[in-house]
Amino acid sequence: MEHKIKDNALKVTSSHHPFEDTTKRLLQLAHKWRPGDEYKFVDSIPCSIVDAKHSRKVSARVGWHNYPDGSENWRSAGGDVRVLTSRFATFYRLPCKVPGSHKMQEKYVYLRLRIDDLNIPDFADLRGKLAAHFAHRMRSELNCSNAPHIPGKLT
């Protein structure tokens, strides 16, 4: 899906995979996971917004990860959500126990959301709302049985 606004100034695109396919793929990966398996952020990009005229871009990604990543650098974003920021991306992770997955899945495989924002000043407030909405949606779509607490806005 792609929308063009004002002579191609702004494009909103979804990934090559429909959102339902992304959810199905994440569920399959969670069910297949066993201790010792590694996911190096197997992800999908359900949404991308591009302002080509001003070289601005926002994209949202979702996936699983379970590799050591300097947990001491993650801080609370609110509720059960942790956050890690880099120059052009903000990463959020939360425990999500998928029903029917291995009993250790919740402890070792986190749901990770990534929000990329390039050249967008004063985006922090909107990023926090976007990330919270995305996290709520994924918690619902994946039916996280541990019901991680996600506030209405993440920091």
The residue-averaged pLDDT of 130-153 equals 94
pLDDT at 2 over 50: no
Q: What percent of the chain has pLDDT over 90?
A: 34
Three-state secondary structure of the chain:
CEEEECCCCEEEECCCCCHHHHHHHHHHHHHHCCCCCCCCCEEEEEEEEEEHHHCEEEEEEEEEECCCCCHHHCEEEECCEEEEECCCEEEEEEECCCCCCCCCHHHHCEEEEEEEEECCCCCHHHHHHHHHHHHHHHHHHCCCCCCCCCCCCCC
Q: What is the predicted pLDDT for the residue at 47? A: 66
Q: Where are the domains of the chain?
A: 2-141
The pTM for the full model equals 0.81
- For residue range 49-105, list pLDDT tens digits in order: 666 666 667 788 888 887 655 667 899 999 999 999 887 789 999 999 999 999 999
- The predicted-structure confidence for 110-125, as pLDDT tens digits, reads as follows 999 988 876 666 777 7
